[in-house]
Amino acid sequence: MIGTLLLREGQAGQPWQVQTHNVVDAGLLCAGLQPEQALALVGRVFGLCRVAHMAAGIRAMGLAGNVGPDHVRMQDEILQDHALALLVTLPAHLNLPPQRESLCKVLQDRQAGPAMARELIGTNASLAQMNAQAFEAWLATGQTETGAFLPRLFKRCQSALDGVGAAVDMAGLTPQAVQARLAHEGVQPAPTMAYDASIWPDYAHYPVMQALVGAGRVTPFARLVARLLEFLACLEGRVDTMFARVAPFMAGMGAGVGVARAARGMLVHAVQVRNGLVAEYQILSPTLWHMAEGGLFRQAISRLNPVCTKMSVECVLAALNPCVPVTLEAAQHA
């Protein structure tokens, strides 16, 4: 999705509102181009998740002669997205010093990844396999200024998100849901887009996630922990979980559809080529699903505590991870 979002705090206890601005359908820009030209345009237009967009486009247009991005490059792109959020952007919102030196090491020295993971979380134990008690004990190590950085960060996130609301639980995105959306051409009623296209479904089965969710909805804090687990998986070179759903997803699609795993979740490109030119190009990004009416992002924002702080909202945004800039606008109180 290309555009910007405005989050406006509700007045007098009213729900927060979401407004989209300058939304551009990038697929329309590709109409009439040769497939190779369309692919080059996609690479120029998308600054975020560029490698994943290129991979989906290559698969959708059947450009087998091109050397497509492999999992290593997509892993690097995913790592960069989570590393920037967890080491620089989110700490700044929580009044913690940005870890720019750690960010440089993470991005420049892949061989040091496992050691950096241990240094940043302060333990050799697997966070993903922790039960509720073990995870709370890990968070407690972040109560001192001398503790490892990530438990300190997530302890503050936990406090900032306490009572914030914005919890949502919905079915993960499926090939059938994608096919229904692609087949829809103005026919009423339109198929629902209330699916979770984020990275959450790839991590929901882990013990720590089950402990964080319990019988309730998926909280923003649980979604942040999913980003943490993916960040650690990238550092340690354990990419099987990230890409496990791509092949089954592709198998459920027809010709002209490409699927890739991006930092924000499942990305789909669908292309129709006629007489050597692109006749139709649709891009279904995670943010497109989540920003639709009834989508995950809109539901989460509608459930925000009306009086939550800017710091809390920034944590919610980091958890939802939209691929467009977001501006927060506070209500004008009398």
- Point out the annotated binding site for Ni(2+): 323
Known binding-site residues for Mg(2+) equal 283
Q: Is the peptide bond before 35 cis (omega within 30 degrees of 0)?
A: no
Do 68 and 54 touch, CB atoms closer than 8 A? yes
Known binding-site residues equal 283, 323
SS3 260: strand
Do 202 and 173 touch, CB atoms closer than 8 A? no
- The backbone torsions φ and ψ at residue 76, rounded to the nearest 5 degrees and listed phi first, read -60, -40
Go through 66-94 and write b for each residue having 16 or more CB atoms within 10 A of its CB, e for each that does not: eebbebeebbebbbbbbbbbbbeebbebb
CB atoms within 10 A of CB 10: 14
Give Cα 281 to chain centroid, integer Å.
22
Q: 19 forms bridges with which residues in the sheet?
A: 6
Contacts of 183 (CB under 8 A, 6+ apart): none
- The backbone torsions φ and ψ at residue 130, rounded to the nearest 5 degrees and listed phi first, read -75, 145
